[in-house]
Chains A and B, each alone.
Chain A
Amino acid sequence: MAETKVLTEFYHLPEYQTLAGYKAKGGYETLPKALKMQPQAIIDEVKASGLRGRGGAGFPTGMKWGFLPKNGEPRYLLCNADEGEPGTFKDRMMMERAPHQLIEGMIISAFAVGSHKGYIYVRGEYVFPIECLNKAIKEAYDAGLLGKNILGSGFDFDLDVYRGAGAYICGEETGMISSLEGLKGQPKLKPPFPAVQGYLRKPTIVNNVETLAAVTYIVKDGAQTYRKHGTEKSAGTKLFSVSGNVAKPGNYEVPLGYPLLDLINKECGGMKPGRKLKAIIPGGSSAPVLTAEECAKANLDYESLAGLGTMLGSGAVIVMDDSQCMVDMLGVLTHFYAHESCGQCTPCREGTGWLNKILHSILEGRGRLQDIDLLVKVADNMKGKTICALSDAAALPVLSFVTKFRDEFEFYVREGRSKVKGTTYAEMHH
C-alpha cells in the first residue's frame, strides 16, 4: 500500500487553486450531476459511503444530515475550518491549495440538506487560507456557481467566510455556533443538537473541511467506489498530518486502516538519523499516547485505534523520538488545555488548571511522589462531567502519559530533573 490520492491528487499544481485550474482537472463537473439528483438520493449515497466526520469525532456524516427536521425551516451549513487541535494542519492545506474543492463540496452538501446559506468558520490566525477562500468564493460567484439559481437549477446558495479570533474551543460545533452568533465561543448543552437547533436556533449542519470535500467524490464516483478504500467500518481515505521527530513531516492521504508504522517509515521516511521511535499521539493532542510497541499493532482506522485505547481524532499523528522527555511534553499539553478551557464547567476550568499546576511543580523540581497519583485522580474526575469534550481532551493525555511512562515521572520527582535529558526544566528551556 502507499498514498492513495483521492482528495489530494492535484495539490502539487499551483493552478489548482484557481477556478480555471480546478475545472481543468474535472472540478465542478460533479455539481451539475448533483443538482439533477434528488437531495435525499445524495444523503443516501453519503450514508452508503460510510463517510465519517473528519474533524475528530468520526460521527457518520449521512446520519448527521438525517437528523435535520423534515419541515421547510431555514437551515444553515457551517464548515468547521477552525482546525485548532494541536498537530493538525490538513484543512489549512486544502483551503490554500484547493479552495474550490471545498466550495464544490459545500454547494453539493447544501443542496442535499436544503440549506441556502453557508459559512466557513476559519480560525483567525489563518489569514492566508482566508484570502485563498475569499478569492475562490468570488470566482465562484462570478461564474454563477454560487448565489441565485446555480447553473440554472433553481437552487440558491450563498457562502461566506467568518474569521474566528483565537479560541480552541470554537472548534467544538456548538462553541463555533456561539462564536458565529457573536458570543463567547462557549459550547452549549446537547440536546438539542445543532441539526435541530443551531445557528440562530435554526437547524444547522456542521461538517469539517475534509468531510465536505469528500462529498463531491462520493457523488461523482458513487458510494461503492469510495468504499473500495478503507475498511468496512472506516471507509475511504483520510488525510493524516504527521509532525514531530520524523524525517519528512507533512500531510499524507492514505486509506483508512493503513498501518501506522508504514505511514511513519514509508511516507515519512522514518525517524531522524540515529533516533528511535518512542511514542506517538495518533489523533491530535487530545488522543491518548501510544508506546512504540503499541504503534507496531496500530492501524489508522477508528476501530483499531479504539481497540488500543486511543482514537483517530483529527488524524494528527505526533511523533516523539527517544530524546524526548514525556514529563516535559505532558507539561506542554496541560498548559495548552488550561489556557484553552472556556471556563464554563467547573471540572474543566479547575481541573485543567490543577493538572497544569501539578505538572509544572514536578517540572520545576517541587513535585512529591503522591502528585503522580493526584494527577491520575484529578484527570479521572474530569472525564465525562462537562458540557463538551475539552475536559476529556485534557484528561486523556495525562492518564496515558502517566500510566505508560510512569518511571519517567517518578524519576523526575525523586531527582528533580529529566530522566531522558538529565537536566532540570530551567536548564532545558531557559
Chain B
Amino acid sequence: MFKLSEQGLANVKKELARYEAKESAIIPSLYIAQKENNGFITPDIIRHLSQVMEIPEARINEVFKFYTMFNQEPVGKYHVQVCTNISCALEGGREMASHICKELGVKLNEVTADGRFTVSKVECLGSCGTAPMMQVNDTYHEKLTPESAMNLLRGMR
C-alpha cells in the first residue's frame, strides 16, 4: 500500500492550502506522488491521495487519466521522450526515436532490462527551432542526431 513520505504529505497539504478550490491541488499532488513512486501512478496512490485530500477517488482518477504526463505504467530511471511532431519530424525525430529503441534493444514504452530507460514518442515539446530533440526526465536535449542522442544516453548511469 503506497503512502506519501512525511515530506510528500506536507507538500500535498501545502498545495491543498494554496487554492480557493482544493481540487486545484489534484495535478500538483499527482506530480508529488508520481515522483515518490519512481515515475508512475497506481490505483493505490489514487486511493491514498483521495484519503489525504478528502476528494473522491473517481474525481482524482479522471484527472490522472486525462493528462499524458502522469504515467500509468512503470518507467525506467530515465524516461526518454522523443518529439515526433511536425517540426521534429521534418528534421528526423521519428528516425531518431527508432534508432534509440534499436540501440537500447526495446520497443516504445518498454523499460530496458536493466531498468534504466523507457523510450516514448511524444507530441510537440516546444523545441521546434532546435529539432530534433528529446526530453530525458525534466531536461531538454536539442539539436540532436541519432548518434549524439545515443552518446548522451550512454553517459547516463
Binding site for B on A (CB under 8 A): 83-89, 91-92, 123-128, 160, 162-168, 179-185, 200, 241-245, 249-251, 281, 285, 316, 318-320, 324, 328-329, 332-333, 336, 339-340, 342, 429-430
A164 to B129, CA, bound (A): 22
Instruction: Judge whether B62 and A125 touch: CB under 8 Å.
Output: no
Among B67-106, those with CB < 8 Å from A are 67-70, 84-87, 89-91, 94-95, 98
Of all chain A residues, the one with the shortest Cβ separation from B70 is A165
- Selected from B21, B27, B85, the residue in CB contact (under 8 A) with A179 is B27
Contact with A along B25-60 (1 / 0, CB 8 A): 111101100000000000000000000000000000
A333: chain B residues at CB < 8 Å are 86
| A126-B126, A318-B86 given; 14 more Cβ-contact pairs under 8 Å | A88-B128, A167-B67, A180-B24, A181-B21, A182-B19, A183-B23, A184-B62, A185-B67, A200-B21, A243-B129, A244-B90, A249-B131, A316-B128, A429-B95
Q: How far is the CA of A405 from the CA of B97 in the complex (A)?
A: 28
A336 touches B27 (CB 8 A): no
Q: Which residue of A lies closest to B25 (CB)?
A: A182
Let me know if B129 and A251 touch, CB within 8 A. Answer: yes
Contact across chains for A125 and B135 when beta carbons are under 8 A apart: yes
Residues of B contacting A128 with CB < 8 Å? Answer: 138-140
Query: Which residues of B have CB within 8 Å of A200?
Result: 20-21
The listed residue (A182, A250, A318, A340) touching B27 by CB distance below 8 A is A182
B147 within 8 A of A: no
Most buried by A among B19, B66, B70, B124: B124
Nearest first, the 7 closest Cβ-Cβ pairs linking A and B are: A182-B23, A165-B67, A243-B128, A166-B69, A243-B87, A86-B124, A166-B68
Contact yes or no, B128 A87, CB < 8 A: yes
* Known contacts A285-B86, A429-B98; is-contact A84 B124 (Cβ 8 Å): yes
| A89 to B125 alpha-carbon distance, docked (Å) | 9
Q: Measured between alpha carbons, how far is A328 from B20 in the docked complex, in Å?
A: 47
| Also in contact, A318 and B129, with CB within 8 A (given A166-B67, A182-B25, A185-B66) | no
Interface centre among A87, A320, A340, by most chain B C-beta atoms within 10 angstroms, is: A87
A86 in contact with B87 (CB, 8 Å): yes
Is B18 part of the binding interface, using a Cβ–Cβ cutoff of 8 Å? yes
In the bound assembly, the distance between CA atoms of A340 and B24 in angstroms comes to 22
In the assembled complex, 23 residue pairs joining A and B whose CB atoms fall closer than 8 Å, in A order, are A85-B124, A86-B86, A87-B128, A88-B126, A88-B128, A89-B126, A128-B139, A165-B31, A179-B27, A180-B24, A182-B63, A183-B62, A241-B128, A243-B87, A243-B90, A249-B131, A251-B129, A285-B85, A320-B90, A329-B89, A332-B89, A336-B86, A342-B66
**Is B87's CB under 8 angstroms from A318's CB?**
yes
Say which residue of B22, B84, B87 sits within 8 Å of A87 (CB atoms).
B87
Q: Could you tell me if A87 and B86 are in contact, using CB atoms closer than 8 angstroms?
A: yes
Residues of A within 8 A of B89 (CB): 328-329, 332
Say whether B127 faces chain A, with CB atoms less than 8 Å apart: yes
Residue in B23, B28, B62, B90 whose beta carbon sits within 8 Å of that of A245 in the complex: B90
B125 (CB) vs chain A CBs: closest residue: A125
A125 near B128: Cβ-Cβ < 8 Å? no
A89 to B128, CA, bound (A): 7
Please report the C-alpha to C-alpha distance between residue A139 and residue B71 in the assembled complex, in whole angstroms: 34
CB distance from A288 to the nearest CB of B (A): 14
* A251–B128 CA distance with the chains assembled, in angstroms: 10
Contact yes or no, B31 A163, CB < 8 A: yes
CB distance from B87 to the nearest CB of A (A): 4
Q: Given A125-B135, A333-B86, does the pair A87, B123 have CB atoms closer than 8 Å? A: no
CA A318 to CA B18, docked complex, whole Å: 40
Chain A residues within 8 Å of B148, by CB: none
Are B129 and A249 in contact, CB atoms less than 8 angstroms apart? yes
| Given contacts A166-B68, A181-B23, A336 and B124 within 8 Å (CB-CB) | yes
Q: How many angstroms between the C-alpha atoms of A328 and B84 in the bound complex?
A: 12
A181 touches which of B24, B124, B129, B138 (Cβ 8 Å): B24
For B28, list chain A residues within 8 Å (CB). Answer: 163
